[in-house]
Amino acid sequence: MTKNPNVLKWVEEMTALVKPDKVVWIDGSEAQLKALRDEAVSTGEMIALNEEKLPGCLLHRTAVNDVARVENRTFICSREEKDCGPTNNWMEPKATYEKLGRLFDGVMKGRTMYIIPYSMGPIGSPFAKVGLEITDSIYVVLNMDIMTRVGEDALRQLGDSSNDFVRGLHSKASLDEENRYICHFPEDNTIWSINSGYGGNVLLGKKCFALRIASYQGYKEGWMAEHMLILGLEAPDGEITYVTGAFPSACGKTNLAMLIPPEIYRQKGYKVWTVGDDIAWLRIGPDGRLWAINPESGFFGVAPGTNVKSNPNALETTKKNTIFTNVVHNLEDNTVWWEGLDKNPPKHAVDWKGNPWDAASGEKGAHPNSRFTAPAVNCPCISKEFANPQGVPISAIIFGGRRAKTAPLVYEARSWEHGVFIGSIMASETTAAAAGAVGVVRRDPMAMLPFCGYHMGDYFGHWLEMGKKLGDKAPRIFNVNWFRTDDEGHFIWPGFGDNMRVLTWIVDRCHGRADAVETPIGYEPKAEDINLEGLDLSRDTLRGLLDVDRELWRREADGIEEFYAKFGSRLPQALRDQLAQLRANLA
Ligand code: GTP
Ligand code: SPV
Ligand code: MN
């Protein structure tokens, strides 16, 4: 499929290492993919779902010990430990190649090795980058086909001599947790992943390449790879304003990207268009503005909670050619179900572990991190710019997390530098998207804590540099929190489609059409400037949601100082100054 000597040499080396029985190049043809689907169904790896209700859809269950990203088994193997930084796990590269080399040695004996060439970004786009993933998992091949542009086109994009491709090696091996490693070698454009078969650990184009490796490439080359959704908000006069949003895993990116505005907005002609739901690659364009593409071609979305009310667009997107992972198998009509889909769990069903399941047992049927992998082209609100090789121009960047208290519904940065500070101090409650405790507040700068491929202090510095280059063309920066709770722990803000009410204020700010008031932490809307029409929420409650509690924020400042201390001399002075400013404003 290719004459590129760099690709061929690497494939030869990896083949000699893993010693497969058979080698298959994935060409991206429908015939080859169909044969792989059929094979996976015949071996039981995948279950073919109801062809009438869910045409082309498959169900897969992972091992019960392998259901989320494993952050404590994820490593940045930079040559120098100090370049990996205090927020990542480090392993020495040479020793790691040797150690994992022993695990990979002969691991594909008796198995087929698939070589997947893929492009992150539209073929031909100046943003696009090519990767190759070697894997022994058909599940990985089929998911990569949905999530990226797979096959011969990607190799053509790479060309016959280029050495600029990311080398990904993956094996399920024995799914042994003790020997599970997700290792990144940023200086070698290399990713080695072994002993997992789950999503972010194994779809190497996604978090491993498009964030961890790409963030490092962006640092070196002057662009950015971010954990961000991209959406276009269309106003009644047809004006479309593009914004990105960085929220931690399972904190609402897919939902915001596919938002359906409340009735009163729809009547006026407002629409939201989806460009991306998880990852954005951003570059400064010829006009000096910041432009973004979504490097992916599908959505790997959280299933639980997705329903006709919360996210009808996502639900519609999953109606064909979709892979479901770890949801409930409804045996009544051979479809799928998950908590929060509707109030009628199937009577005759199998849970995510593969056991007969009775909703009355009180046990969850779908894993909280169960997912759908769906092609972007299925999405009813996909933007017409989705595959534009030049991307879309960004007017606003929104940071946000899951905070029961402290962070108000929305506030705006006073400047790019202040915005970088706001991103750097993000904190959020942990979710089921990663293995470990759920609901613990942790700092997650720019939602990149688990995804930054180099020293986080240098990453902050890179953000500041980008702002200098953008100058007065820099997007405005905001922070949102949909997750403030009342004394009984209920979310106060209705969220989902009603987030439109906040989005329009943000967009109006970008166009100089909305007022703001100054608070110690930044600009906020006047309570009168958020439209509450058609909503059962009082102006006073909204005031509460916008409230900045100085005592809580003083404690927050202490927490930030403690967090910043980790970065030592690699923390940019501008951020230290911002913290001092915050303290002064709170005094
Ligand atoms: P990853 O794919 O892990 O990066 O997650 P994500 O950021 O795309 O999160 P997603 O949109 O899938 O939402 C995750 C969970 O948050 C789901 O259970 C949603 O129902 C819930 N959620 C999303 N938006 C809102 C909101 O506005 N309010 C509330 N209360 N919950 C929300
Ligand atoms: C996330 O955890 O942020 C995801 C899912 O988007 S995974 O691909 O598993 O990383
Ligand atoms: Mn994500």
Query: CA nearest 183: which of 156, 201, 158, 161?
Result: 201
The alpha carbon of 250 and the centre of ligand 1 are apart by a number of angstroms equal to 5
Residue with tokens 């998911």: 143
CA dist., res. 352 & res. 60, Å (int):
9
Res 105: pLDDT = 98
Give the amino acid at 153: D
Q: Tens digit of pLDDT per residue, the chain (587 long)?
A: 999 999 999 999 999 999 999 999 999 999 999 999 999 999 999 999 999 999 999 999 999 999 999 999 999 999 999 999 999 999 999 999 999 999 999 999 999 999 999 999 999 999 999 999 999 999 999 999 999 999 999 999 999 999 999 999 999 999 999 999 999 999 999 999 999 999 999 999 999 999 999 999 999 999 999 999 999 999 999 999 999 999 999 999 999 999 999 999 999 999 999 999 999 999 999 999 999 999 999 999 999 999 999 999 999 999 999 999 999 999 999 999 999 999 999 999 999 999 999 999 999 999 999 999 999 999 999 999 999 999 999 999 999 999 999 999 999 999 999 999 999 999 999 999 999 999 999 999 999 999 999 999 999 999 999 999 999 999 999 999 999 999 999 999 999 999 999 999 999 999 999 999 999 999 999 999 999 999 999 999 999 999 999 999 999 999 999 999 999 999 999 999 999 999 999 99
User: Residue 363 and residue 384: Cα distance in Å, rounded?
Assistant: 42
Rounded to the nearest 5 percent, the helix, strand and coil shares of the chain are 35, 25, 40
Ligand nearest to the CA of 202: 2
Ligand 1 atom closest to the Cα of residue 498 is 27
**Protein residue with its CA nearest to atom 8 in ligand 2:** 200
**Residues 414, 464, 129, 79: is their CA dihedral positive or negative?**
negative
Both tokens of 547, joined, read 């409230």
**Substitution site in 60, 67, 69 for ligand 2 pocket (most atoms within 8 Å of beta carbon):** 69
Distances (CA, A) of 160 to 8, 151, 164: 10, 15, 11
- Measured from the CB, is residue 199 less than 6 Å from ligand 2? yes
Q: What is the pLDDT of residue 434?
A: 95
69 lines ligand 2 (CB under 6 A): yes
* Res 206: pLDDT: 98
Q: How far apart are CA 279 and CA 257, in angstroms?
A: 11
User: 509: Cβ below 6 Å to ligand 2?
Assistant: no
Contact criterion met (CB below 8 Å) for 193 and 202: yes
Active site residues: 251
**Pocket perturbation via mutation, ligand 2, pick of 278, 326, 367 by most ligand atoms within 8 A of CB:** 278
Residue 190: the pLDDT is: 98
Ligand 2 pocket: which of 148, 201, 206 to mutate (most atoms within 8 A of CB):
206
What's the confidence (pLDDT) of residue 401? 96
- Indicate which atom in ligand 1 lies nearest the CA of residue 255: 11
- Ligand 1: nearest atom to the Cα of 483: 30
Which residues face 183 on adjacent strands?
75, 192
Mutate to test the pocket of ligand 1, among 302, 311, 410 (most ligand atoms within 8 A of CB): 302
Distance 141 CA to ligand 1 centre (A): 26
pLDDT at 353: 98
CA distances from 230 to 112, 285, 326, 393, 582 (A): 37, 17, 27, 10, 29
Query: Does the beta carbon of 482 lie inside 6 Å of ligand 1?
Result: yes
Q: Report the candidate in 473, 524, 484 with the shortest Cα–Cα distance to residue 502.
A: 524
pLDDT at 314: 98
In the numeric block, which tokens belong to residue 533?
């029409």
Is the pTM higher than 0.85? The answer reads yes
Q: Is the CB of 367 under 6 A from ligand 2?
A: no
pLDDT of residue 9: 98
pLDDT of 178 reads 97
For the CA of 499, the closest atom of ligand 1 is 27
Query: How much distance in Å is there from the Cα of 255 to the middle of ligand 1?
Result: 6
Q: Which residues pair with 23 in a beta bridge?
A: 113
CB of 444 shorter than 6 A to ligand 1: no
For residues 126 and 281, the answer to whether their CB atoms sit within 8 Å is no
Would you give the end-to-end CA distance of the chain in angstroms? 66
In the prediction, which pLDDT does 103 show?
A: 98
For residue 254, the ligand closest to its alpha carbon is: 1
Task: Evaluate: CB of 200 within 6 angstroms of ligand 2.
Answer: yes
Closest by CA to 318, choosing from 372, 260, 250, is 372
The alpha carbon of 563 and the centre of ligand 2 are apart by a number of angstroms equal to 24
Pocket lining: 451 vs ligand 1, CB cutoff 6 Å = no
373 lines ligand 1 (CB under 6 A): no
Question: Can you tell me which atom of ligand 2 is nearest the CA of 206?
Answer: 8
499 lines ligand 1 (CB under 6 A): yes
Nearest to 436 by CA among 67, 60, 64: 67
Q: Is the CB of 143 under 6 A from ligand 2?
A: no
Q: Which residues pair with 22 in a beta bridge?
A: 112
Q: Alpha-carbon distance 430 to 345, whole Å?
A: 27
Ligand 2: centre distance to CA 438 (Å) = 15
What are all long-range contacts of 571-579, with beta carbons under 8 Å and residues at least 24 apart?
571/457, 571/460, 572/457, 572/460, 572/461, 572/464, 574/417, 574/420, 574/421, 574/464, 575/420, 575/421, 575/424, 575/460, 578/417, 578/418, 578/420, 578/421, 579/421
Can you tell me which atom of ligand 1 is nearest the CA of 277?
8
Q: Which long-range contacts (CB under 8 A, 24 or more apart) does 462-465 make?
A: 462/218, 462/219, 462/224, 463/224, 463/420, 463/423, 463/424, 464/416, 464/417, 464/420, 464/572, 464/574
The dihedral region occupied by 303, where left means phi > 0, alpha psi between -120 and 50, and beta the remainder, is alpha
